[in-house]
Amino acid sequence: MEKKIRLHDKTFKMFIPNQDIEKAIDAVAERLNRDYADATDEDPVVFLCTLNGAIIYAAELLKRVTFPLELKACKLSSYVGTQSTGYIRTEVPLPSHLEGRRVIIIEDIVDTGGTIVVMKDLLEAAHVKDSKVCTLLVKPDVYKKDVKLDYVAMEIPNRFIVGFGLDYDELGRNIKDIYVLDE
């Protein structure tokens, strides 16, 4: 029987099993380890984790990264329930002293791209040396912005998902597989 879960008022069905997610993360980590092999203790790469959704992805990814890095976090938010509001609030501001640094933004998912565009602008205003986007998931049918998505672990159709850090009104982040809204 197909695995289903219930969160608040909605039912979700199994979509991406944990082992597939982990394999996709292995591949991203390999690319990062190649691309940032020149990082040093004097010039560590800044991983900027976007709270709260990217926490689980960041933890799994960073366990596989072998070059010197610093982990920082910030929080922007746009979603209420299963819909993007299109309006983005800064809940935890960017860390200070990013000037001249190489930054990798860790995102759980790029949907409309509104969040990532704001992040990129904030980093530019902070005078970083370079910023890259590293996202677990992207919905290519929805994403139409110009910002390059440098590291994408998996592409998914335009469906609402939960698990592996992603929530439906704060529930479901601790589920180790990814589930899709059953409708």
HSE-up of residue 89 (Cα within 13 Å, Cβ side): 7
- The binding track of 163-182 with respect to ligand IMP, each residue x by CB under 6 A or -, is ---x----------------
The residues near 43 (Cβ < 8 Å, ≥ 6 apart) are 68, 102
Instruction: Count CB atoms within 10 A of the CB of residue 5.
Output: 17
- The binding track of 114-153 with respect to ligand IMP, each residue x by CB under 6 A or -, is xxx-------------------------------------
| Smallest distance, ligand IMP to C-beta of residue 176, A | 16
- Interacting residues with Mg ion between 45 and 74 (CB under 5 A): 53
Catalytic residues: 111
Residues that bind ligand IMP (CB under 6 A): 53, 78-79, 84, 107-116, 160-162, 166
